[in-house]
Amino acid sequence: MPNDPFAPLRQRFLARCADQLAELKAIAHQAAPLPGNDPLVRLAHSLAGAAGTFGFAEISARASALETLLVEQADGASVRAALDGLIAEIEGTLA
């Protein structure tokens, strides 16, 4: 879209997303991303909202699903799968 007033904001979101991807990967390398992990809950919540705002619906949906699993204290395998899916989606978007 030429003259898209939101383009600079989307670019800033993507730059921040790259930093958040590094955080997600660091958490993923831990023994197990535990349900109820407050820093991960906050990160997932932030990604869900910002991604949705800037038109990245799949990142938003995956981050929201991860947040829900964490808050509901889901089993570790479900949390791991959701985290891995979110990481893959962000990597695909940034590629």
Q: Cα separation of 82 and 62, whole Å?
A: 7
Residues present in the chain in total: 95
- Which residues are CB-neighbours of 53 under 8 A, at least 6 positions away? none
- Domain assignment of residue 2, yes or no: no
Asked whether 8 and 52 are in contact (CB, 8 A), the reply is no
pLDDT of residue 58: 96
Domain span at residue 41 reads 7-94
Q: Cα separation of 29 and 10, whole Å?
A: 28
For residues 42-58, give the mean pLDDT: 94
**Number of helices followed by number of strands (H, E) in the chain:** 4, 0
For residues 11-31, give the mean pLDDT: 89
Residue 77 in this model has a pLDDT that exceeds 60: yes
- Domain assignment of residue 43, yes or no: yes
- Domain assignment of residue 78, yes or no: yes
Residue 68 in this model has a pLDDT that exceeds 80: yes
Helices (H), the chain: 7-28, 38-53, 57-71, 76-94
Residue 35 in this model has a pLDDT that exceeds 90: no
Question: What pTM value is reported for the model?
Answer: 0.88
- Domain assignment of residue 1, yes or no: no
SS3 33: coil
pLDDT of residue 49: 95
Question: What one-letter code names the amino acid at 81?
Answer: A
- Domain assignment of residue 37, yes or no: yes
Number of domains the chain contains: 1
